[in-house]
Amino acid sequence: MPSSNDVTHANVWRLAGPIILSNISVPLVGAVDTAVMGHLDGPHFLGAIALGALVFSFLYWGFGFLRMGTTGFVARDYGRNDHHGIHDTMMRALLLAVAFGLIVVLLQRPLDRLAFTLLESSVEVEALASQYVLIRIWSAPAVLTVYALTGVLIGMHDTRSALVLQLVLNFTNVALDLLFVPVLGFGIAGAAAASLIAEYAAAITGIFLLRRLIGGFPVERARLLDPAALLVLMRANADIFVRTLCLVFSFSYFTALGARLGEAVLAANAVLMNFQNIASFGLDGFAHAVEALGGSAYGARERERFRLAVVRTTQWAVGTSVLVGIVYWTFGETLIALFSDLPGVRADALAYLPWLAISPLVSVWSFQLDGIFIGTSRTAEMRNAMLVSTLGYLAVMQWTVAFLGNHGLWLGLMAFMVLRAATLMAYYPRIVRALGNRR
């Protein structure tokens, strides 16, 4: 059973390190997809892969609750040393993953039409992107299964296996991309098939890993389909879904307002958002660490171990955020040049670079608090906090953009991060009170 001895600085890195490495491997897939499509005849192939990938980013982001919701329940059961509870949560999450995945497959034609009604492009690009979507969408049950399995692994403090899962997915995808497209000449259908096969390979790998970790438990249908347990899980997932929709909307709103300020600003912001995403990839490792360590301490009702989990993961997260900010400030001009060789875009991006230098330190608090609330399954509070933060963000943006232009846009985004942290902090004492005085 976990104890206070597991909340060491070394253990924080044991949990965070694999997640950081896993996140670093994600851009590799996009880079290879872009590279293989970029060497085909005509730019429409590149546009099609970008459009197709965007469809899946939006589609699957909405199902992120299968990972986050599962982690919280498993972490608490892990803290109580309740292996039957972990097994039941895993099976319910897998049941939901497969069910939602099959629904996505059944709705593939309407989803395809809706996507390309909203994401308009040339006829040639849309035709190729649609081909990509209608092949890759068959992997939906596997993708959502990987989400659920990853949630179980993080909740059980086994981020190394979560890393293995991600590496199997990413490197299988890369290897098959290079085989199917340049060597066998399958074009965009080959890129879609590579992702399809890689996603099923990762799902199968995850099932074997968890079977080894958890062992065999008889599937008790009555217990698995217990209405009360399913309702609790579904309610938590619904809360996270609403929270995620608000987050997606807020970043989409940022992009939409940037587009109104002109193409040059839109392009510069697109470059700078890569830095924001890279920072969040790194800092997510510590958020996942506090999900696991804090969640298991909460499940065991050990207040001191919970406090240590929060303090030590946050110390490393804040230290890392400062380091990332210094790197952006010092090497920003060189990094911007890697993303664009257009002088105008580079000049505009450099003008707004100071916002990216402070962004990691401003954002880290909301990332950490998200981890704490996910680990303790306080999903209703997460939902409410995000709703309030989004409304505040929309109000702030009306003033800052009107008076300060793109600087106001970035100021509004920083205000959103502060609002996310402040609203969650207002709920944080509830978690501490729930632990009582037990040490």
pLDDT digits (tens, 9 = 90+) for 364-375: 999 999 999 999
Closest CA to 199 of 253, 142, 267: 142
> Does residue 121 come out as left (phi exceeding 0), alpha (psi in the -120 to 50 range) or beta?
beta
Is the Cβ–Cβ distance between 279 and 414 less than 8 Å? no
pLDDT of residue 121: 60
For 77, 94, 133, 209, 385, the CA distances from 2, given in Å and listed in that order, are 11, 25, 44, 21, 30
Segments of the chain scoring below 70 in pLDDT: 1-5, 24-35, 37-44, 46-47, 50, 118-122, 213-222, 224, 339-342, 437-439
pTM (two decimals): 0.83
pLDDT of residue 103: 95
- Output DSSP code: residue 119: S
Each residue's pLDDT tens digit, 408-424: 999 999 999 999 999 99
pLDDT of residue 115: 74
pLDDT of residue 22: 76
pLDDT of residue 132: 84
- Output DSSP code: residue 107: T
Is the Cβ–Cβ distance between 248 and 61 less than 8 Å? yes
pLDDT of residue 141: 94
Closest CA to 147 of 221, 71, 220, 223: 71
Only one residue has tokens 């257009």, namely: 342
The amino acid that residue 162 corresponds to is: A
Tell me how far apart the alpha carbons of residues 251 and 273 are, in angstroms, rounded to a whole number.
10
